[in-house]
Homo-oligomer: A and B are copies of this chain.
Amino acid sequence: MSLIDIQKDVDAWVTQFKVEYFKPLEMIAAMAEELGELSREVNNRYGPRTKKSHQDTADISQEISDMIFALVCLANLHNINLDESWKKKMDKQYGRDSNRFERKDEQNGQ
């Protein structure tokens, strides 16, 4: 399932109801809520509380998907094609950062 398919999936879900997409600033608040929940799960495993084991990834997995859902809503609202956007990001990242870190194969006299 590509990012575009996911965008259609979300759109089908949202538009089946009489509700509309949240407005952009409402989406930001919703994303802050999602980041808060994801942060709680991460802090519960790696922070001072250590309530859950590192192997128990179910809640982290769910919170990541919740955040992706929110991001896709914001993209849909702006008619952003995330496949194109992702491709552009990776092209830029490969270009921009290609000389910033030492590559692994560079340690062997190449």
**How many residues on the A side are at the interface (Cβ–Cβ under 8 A)?**
68
Q: How far is the CB of A26 from chain B (nearest CB, A)?
A: 4
Assuming A83-B1, A85-B64, is B69 touching A45 (CB within 8 A)? no
- A52-110 contacts to B, CB under 8 A, are 54, 57, 60-62, 64-69, 71, 74-75, 78-80, 82-83, 85-86, 88-90, 93-94, 101-104, 107
**At the interface, is chain A mostly helix, strand, loop or mixed?**
helix
The answer to whether B88 and A62 have CB atoms under 8 Å apart is yes
Interface mask (A9-43 → B, CB under 8 Å = 1, otherwise 0): 10001011111101111111111111111111011
Assuming A24-B45, A30-B43, A33-B39, is B68 touching A71 (CB within 8 A)? yes
